[in-house]
Amino acid sequence: MDTNKIYKITVRMPKELRENLIYAANKLNITSNTFMKISLYSYLNSSFFSLADATPINISTIPKDRSTKINLIIDAELHTILEVYAQKNNLTINDLTLYTILVSLNAYDELVKNNINNFQSRLKIAIENKGISQAELARRSGLSRASITDYLKGKYKAKPGAIYSLAQALDVDAFWLLGYQNNN
């Protein structure tokens, strides 16, 4: 194996998966290529010699849509690992890569959901601490109850004016509400 050889793999995936990949990578301040490589190394236990220990793949979760593509640049070692593991599981390298991206994005989503230092979690905490209903918060903040519900579900990112209004209505610091470590 030529360890200096570099491989360029074109990974085809659904548009939504590509957007989620880029979004998560940007949030982590890394490139999407780095996110994919970390996903592959993490899932495949980072060594050719530990492939037997890797978690079995649930083939039904691999998306069939391949409407967009993204290039993955990898070294010879990772390429060999991908070839061996894909062959062992009767998959294409593309399917294996998609699966590891899905596993990593799901883990990232869980991390964000369980992180109390984000807007959604802090908003829930502030509402509980204040002991008011969403309807009362809507009245005090001037925002619609539907918007507050959407913020709590993580459907939308709040705009600065909404964050400021919510912070005032909840008697908390706006930066704390955004997830920064300021005291509330």
Residues 96 and 127 in one domain: no
Contact (Cβ atoms closer than 8 angstroms) between residue 119 and residue 163: yes
Q: Could you tell me if residue 1 is inside a domain?
A: no
pLDDT at 164: 86
pLDDT at 175: 79
The residue-averaged pLDDT of 103-129 equals 81
CATH number at residue 160: 1.10.260.40
Three-state DSSP class for residue 130: helix
Q: Could you tell me if residue 149 is inside a domain?
A: yes
Going from the C-alpha of 154 to that of each of 44, 53, 119, 120, 148, the distances in angstroms are: 31, 35, 9, 6, 10
Q: Could you tell me if residue 64 is inside a domain?
A: yes
Q: Which of 82, 114, 146 corresponds to the end of one domain?
A: 114
Residues 107 and 135 in one domain: no
Residues 110 and 51 in one domain: yes
Least confident interval from 44-48, 70-74, 154-158, 162-166: 44-48
CA-to-CA distance for 175 and 184, rounded, in angstroms? 9
pLDDT band at 9 (very low <50, low <70, confident <90, very high): very high
pLDDT at 123: 92
- End-to-end distance of the chain based on CA atoms, in angstroms? 57
Amino acid 117 reads N
Residues 21 and 106 in one domain: yes
Q: How far is CA 147 from the centre of its chain?
A: 23
CA-to-CA distance for 173 and 184, rounded, in angstroms? 5
For the chain, what is the mean pLDDT?
83
Contact (Cβ atoms closer than 8 angstroms) between residue 162 and residue 155: no
Q: For 40-66, write each residue's pLDDT tens digit.
A: 887 776 544 454 555 667 777 788 888
Q: Is the pLDDT of residue 183 over 50?
A: no
CATH number at residue 85: 1.10.1220
The residue-averaged pLDDT of 83-101 equals 90
Which domain does 124 fall in, by range? 119-177
Q: Is the pLDDT of residue 27 over 90?
A: no
Q: Could you tell me if residue 81 is inside a domain?
A: yes
More confident residue, 62 or 131: 131
Residues 109 and 125 in one domain: no
Residues 34 and 13 in one domain: yes
At what angle are helices 93-114 and 76-88 packed, to 10 degrees? 100
Backbone angles phi, psi at 12, to 5 degrees: -100, 135
Residues 93 and 163 in one domain: no
Q: Which of 64, 83, 114 corresponds to the end of one domain?
A: 114
pLDDT at 26: 80
Residues 100 and 158 in one domain: no
Contact residues for 13 (Cβ-Cβ < 8 A; gap 6+): 21, 63, 65, 66, 68, 69, 70, 98, 101
Least confident interval from 18-27, 57-66, 95-104: 57-66
Residues 17 and 34 in one domain: yes
CA-to-CA distance for 166 and 137, rounded, in angstroms? 8
Residues 23 and 101 in one domain: yes
DSSP class of residue 85 equals: H
pLDDT at 180: 67
Residues 32 and 101 in one domain: yes
CA-to-CA distance for 150 and 142, rounded, in angstroms? 15
Q: Could you tell me if residue 182 is inside a domain?
A: no
Q: For 167-180, write each residue's pLDDT tens digit.
A: 999 999 887 887 76
How many domains in the chain? 2
Q: Is the pLDDT of residue 137 over 90?
A: yes
